[in-house]
Each structure stands twice: as structure tokens, then as C-alpha cells.
Amino acid sequence: MKQYAYYPGCSLESLAKGYDVSSKEVARALGLDLKEIEDWNCCGATAYFPVDELLAYTLVARNLAIAEKTGLTDFVAPCSACFKNAYFTNAYLKQDPDLADHINFALEEDNLHFDGKLKVRHLIEVFIEDVGLEQIKNKTTHPLTGLRVAPNYGCQLIRPRKGKENVETPQFFEDLLSAIGAEPIEYATKTRCCGSSLIITNRRAALDMVRILLQDAIDSGAHVIATTCPMCHVNLEVYQSQVNQEFGTNLSIPVIYFTQLMGIALGLKTKSLGIDRAVLAKTPVLA
């Protein structure tokens, strides 16, 4: 059973508990062992960089250094914002020995050292690349036949660009949904931003961004929106009523983590996937 250094991130301890439990359950069912790293700290989300970029990198580097200490080779984050911060901090520190030295000086205070030995990955990438679509398909006992799913890529999972990958029309999420028997829908806004922390700092802008995503998914015939990020998930799910109030719309669609859909397809109990924790459950999608 391959082991991974698992970094849940703050959201997965609170608002996105269902993402955490379903990630672990699905990983186990697929023969992967997500070992949570000890005493991790917040990655800084998107709010650190405005204040101090160096501090932002240091906070992320501490988590990377803790993961390195375990001897495991892969750092896995299910939260897209944590993933993006960890991925780029890892890359920048490896490229810039002066920056790494400076940060290692700070890490000494916690008896840690960043060596740059890790590969930073998002959970969806691990499932697709390490388990493989074929294997996921083989293990699917309850294919989600007829379920029309809008794959919401969001931002930080695919942007900024890491290499030459397709950031405009990625397909890997659709491929995964097809592997579990669901029907991924095509819609124009699958990589559009959910508004992220603007929900706090510029509410109207964020609610409008949420409205556009919900409207597009519904108009494209989706039964449900699947997410890979707790921030997108909260904005799309929890703020539906506020969107309707603000814009006089009547939008309603369930939002579910991709791991929860996978768990259902793999025949895992819905309770163990945290699905009962969903804030909105107006529309019964899977009877």
C-alpha cells in the first residue's frame, strides 16, 4: 500500500470535513494510505501574500519540511489553494537557494529543514495517475449511470501554469467522472473562478461570480456540481440562497466533492463519506 504525506489543510477540519473523510475512505478503497503529517500549520490561503511574501513561503515550507521528515516522497493536498501554495513554494525554493537558505534559517527554530525532496500533488492527480482510470473503473461497483455532473475545476488546481499542460480546456476531471460511470457535462465556465475570499472582502462581486457558475451548470443540464476545492465548494453550496436573494434568481443545485461521488461509485457507505453533512440537500440526486 503506497503511503503519502497527507496535508488536509484548515478547511478540511471544519467546513470541509466531508471532503476529508471521503478522501481518506476513497484512498483506502483504492489501496492508498494517506498519512496525515504531524503538527501542520495553515498554508496561508490567499490572504498571506498581500502582507509578506517571504512569510507566506516560510509557512508553507514548514509543512513541506515536516512532510520531508517522514521520508515519504509525495506531499498530497486535497484543497486546491493549499496545493497551489505548496506546489509553487516547493518549486521556488528549489530554484532559489538563497531563498531556501533564508527560510531554512527560520525553520531551524522548529528543528526543521527544507531539502526540496518532495513531489507536491493534488489528490485528484494522485487518483488519476497512481491508481489509474482503468483501475478506478474496475473497482466501480455502483456506476453513476445517468448522473449528469458538472466538473468544477476552479482556479488553483490548474492555475498558474506549471508546465505545458492544458489550462484552457483540461479534460482529466471529465475522464475521472466517466470512469465512475457518470456523465460529465460540457459547460463554458468549468475553469472560472468562484470568487474565493471575495465572498468576505467584496461580497457582491463574489455572489455574482457564484451566480454565473451555478446558472451555467444548471443551464447545461447538470444534476450536480462536483468540486475539487473546499473554497469553491463553500461558495457554490452555502451561498446559493444569498445569490438568489441578491439577484432575484431561483437557482438550486447540489454540490458534492469529487471524492464523495467516487465513494458512492465504489460502494462505500454515504455516512462514511460525510455526505450527510451537506448544507443543502434539497434535491435528492442519488436515491
Partner 1 sequence: MTAELSFSNEIANMMYATHGNPITNCLQCGTCSGTCPAAEFMDHTPRLIIGMIRENLKDEVLASNTYWSCASCYHCTVRCPAGIDIADMMYALKRYSMWKSRYQEGLIGPAFSESFVKMIVNSGRSFEPILAATYLPKFSASQLMQEALTATGLVLKGKMPLLPKKIKRLKNFQRMVKRIIPLGESS
Residues that bind partner 1 (CB under 8 A): 10, 13-17, 38-42, 44-55, 58-59, 62, 103, 105-111, 155-156, 159-161, 167-168, 191-193, 195-198, 200-206, 208-209, 212, 238-239, 242, 245, 277, 279
Q: In the bound complex, what is the minimum distance in angstroms from residue 117's beta carbon to partner 1?
A: 20
How near is the Cβ of 14 to partner 1 at its closest, in Å?
Answer: 5
108 versus 134: smaller Cβ distance to partner 1 = 108
Q: Please, which residue, 33 or 52, has the CB nearer to partner 1?
A: 52
Say how far apart CA 213 and CA 208 lie, in whole Å: 9
From the list 94, 139, 154, 151, the residue with the least C-alpha distance to 120 is 94
How distant, in Å, are the alpha carbons of 47, 132, 134, 182, 194 from that of 189?
A: 25, 26, 28, 19, 10
Q: Shortest approach of partner 1 to residue 178 CB, angstroms?
A: 25
Sheet (strand 255-257) strand order: 183-184, 148-152, 224-227, 255-257
Tell me how far apart the alpha carbons of residues 64 and 72 are, in angstroms, rounded to a whole number: 11
Nearer to partner 1, 101 or 132 (CB): 101
Picking from 129, 8, 128, the residue whose alpha carbon sits closest to that of residue 67 is 8
| Cα torsion through 119, 71, 39, 232, rounded to 10 | 20
Nearest CB to partner 1, comparing residues 145 and 171 = 171
- Residue 181 Cβ, how far from partner 1 at the closest point, in Å? 29
CB of 278 to partner 1, least distance (A): 8
CB 184 → partner 1: shortest distance, Å? 21
Closer residue to partner 1, CB minimum distance, 44 or 78: 44
In the complex, least distance from residue 121 CB atom to partner 1, rounded to whole angstroms: 19
Alpha helices in 2-112 (DSSP H): 17-29, 53-69, 80-95, 97-107
Pick between residue 5 and residue 147 the one whose CB is nearest to partner 1.
5
Distance CA 106, CA 110 (A): 8
Check: CB of residue 76 under 8 Å from CB of residue 121: yes
**Least separation in angstroms between CB 15 and partner 1:** 5
Nearer to partner 1, 212 or 285 (CB): 212
CB nearer to partner 1: pick between 50 and 146: 50
Cell numbers that stand for 175 in this block: 475522464
> CA-to-CA distance for 182 and 122, rounded, in angstroms?
22
Which residues lie below 8 Å from residue 226, measured CB to CB, with a gap of 6+? 149, 150, 151, 152, 173, 177, 255, 256, 257, 258, 261
How many other CB atoms sit within 10 Å of the CB of residue 164? 6
